[in-house]
Amino acid sequence: MSALLEAVGLRKTFRARGRLVHAVEGVSLAVAAGEALGIVGESGCGKTTTARMLLRLEEPTEGGIRFDGADITKLHGNALRPFRARAQLVFQNPFDALNPRFTIRRSLTEPLRNFGVAASEHRERIDAVLRRVRLTPPESWLDRRPHELSGGQLQRVVLARALVPEPRLIVADEPVSMLDVSVRAGILNLLREARDALGLAAIYISHDLALIRYVCERTLVMYLGQVVEEGPTAALIAEPAHPYTAVLVAAVPVARVDQNRAALPVRGSLSDAPPTAPGCTFRDRCPHAMPRCTADTPALRSISGDRRVACHLGDLP
């Protein structure tokens, strides 16, 4: 299967308070048409920056991005517009994602107009997409403004706006974390339905593996700007190969009374100064760290057909 979106060696360096911050350090990934990929990690792991680079909202410091076979890394302005029409974003905070002065109609017309859809088709496309996100009947929603809607309804509009240009890829950055638990399921189900019905590729970003498991077949785990593990979501949760993945799995809250309440197999916190190269960036927090972890940096290596991990555990030198 050829990739719809492919990124090679993405790197992003920010300058903050005179210091260089390496937000993303060499991330490569590929998403096939119709596939859903999860990117999981804690805040500050670079997952959002990676997604923003993939959507060309952030300039990569290094690396290349191809979409549908074409190099889009250096495109700007009008040349980028065809890509924008085909790669859309679902925002984290529905309360801030819609122009507060625009009606729902206006917010949904904006992409159609910008992507050159004939005005005569607008109404039909908008009605169809509102039905798809279950805001029915469409005419009762068109003239409302964001402040009249609840969080769940707003997120449906945000999803509708992403779907209305008929994209081939959707990137969703923590799409339900700002919503009440009772309406989260509705949004996740809509995302799944839209994907199945339209054959979309999707990239989900979250810190919660349970959510990722519900919507993604394949998952990347990021730690401090690097991919530390990659594989089918179910296998990765059932048998984490990287100690950090194991921590993420153990930390997922579950709504059951009998559950493992043992302390997480991790030391310190993400904010402690990360160790410098060479060596594994997780070694100071890792319960399995060995001398080799300080001596050389683990590269992402294949451990079985479709699983890869950047860890020396189980690797024969």
Partner 1 sequence: MRGARNFLKFLRGEPFAAVGAAIYSVIVVVAVFADWLEPYAPRAILKVGPRVARYLPISAAHWLGTTSSGRDVLSQVIHGTRSALVVGLTAAIAVVAIGTLLGLLAGYLGGWVDRVVSWLADIVLGLPFLPFMLILAALTHPGTGVVIFTVAALLWPNTARVIRAQVLSLRERAWVEAARVTGCSTARIMFVHVLPQVLPLAALYGSVAIGWAILAEASASFLGFGDPETVSWGVMLQDAYANQALSRGAWNWFAPPGAAIMAMVLAGFLISRGSEKLLFPKLAEQ
Partner 2 sequence: MLLSVRGLRVNYASRAGVVRAVDGMDLDVPAGSITGLVGESGCGKSTLGRSLMRVLPEAGRIAGGQVMFEGRDIAALGEAAMRAIRWRRLAFIPQTAMNALDPVQRLRAQMLEVLTERGGLRRTAALARAVELFRMVGLDPVRLADFPHQFSGGMRQRASIALALALAPVLVIADEPVTALDVIVQRQVLDVLRDLQSRLNLAMILVTHDMAVVAYACDRVAVMYAGRVVEAGPVADVLERPLHPYTMGLTHAFPDVHGDMAALVPIEGSPPSLIDPPPGCRFAARCPFAQARCVAHDPAALAYASDHVAACWRADEAAELRGLAATPSTWIAA
Q: Which residues bind partner 2 (CB under 8 A)?
A: 42-43, 150-152, 180-186, 188-189, 207-211, 213-214, 237, 247-257, 259, 261, 263-264, 266, 269-271
Amino acid (1-letter code) at residue 47: K
- Burial of residue 117 (CB within 10 Å: 0-12, 13-18, 19+) is middle
Asked whether the bond before 175 is cis by omega within 30 degrees of 0, the reply is: no
Of 259 and 304, nearer to partner 2 (C-beta) is 259
SS (H, E, C) 76-102: CHHHHHHHHHHEEEECCCCCCCCCCCC
Q: Is 68 left (phi over 0), alpha (psi -120 to 50) or beta?
A: left
Pick the binder of partner 1 from 48, 50, 88, 245 (CB under 8 A). Answer: 88
The binder of 97, among partner 1, partner 2, none, by C-beta within 5 to 8 A per type, is partner 1
> Cβ 312 to partner 1, closest distance in Å?
40
99 contacts partner 1 (rule: CB under 8 A): yes
CB 85 within 8 A of CB 112: no
- What the block records as the tokens of 242 is 């990287």
268 contacts partner 1 (rule: CB under 8 A): no
What residues does 62 pair with on adjacent strands? 11
Cα gap 100→147, rounded to integer Å: 7
> Cβ 264 to partner 2, closest distance in Å?
6
Q: Which span sits near partner 1 by CB under 8 A: 17-25, 80-88, 133-141, 302-310?
A: 80-88
The binder of 68, among partner 1, partner 2, none, by C-beta within 5 to 8 A per type, is none
Residues of this chain, 128-187, that bind partner 1 according to CB under 8 A? 158, 161, 165
Burial string for 247-260 (b: 16+ CB within 10 Å, else e) reads bbbbeeeeeeeeee
Pick the binder of partner 1 from 101, 147, 256, 261 (CB under 8 A). Answer: 101
Binding site for partner 1 (CB under 8 A): 55, 57, 77-78, 81, 84-85, 88-89, 91-93, 96-101, 110-111, 114-115, 158, 161, 165
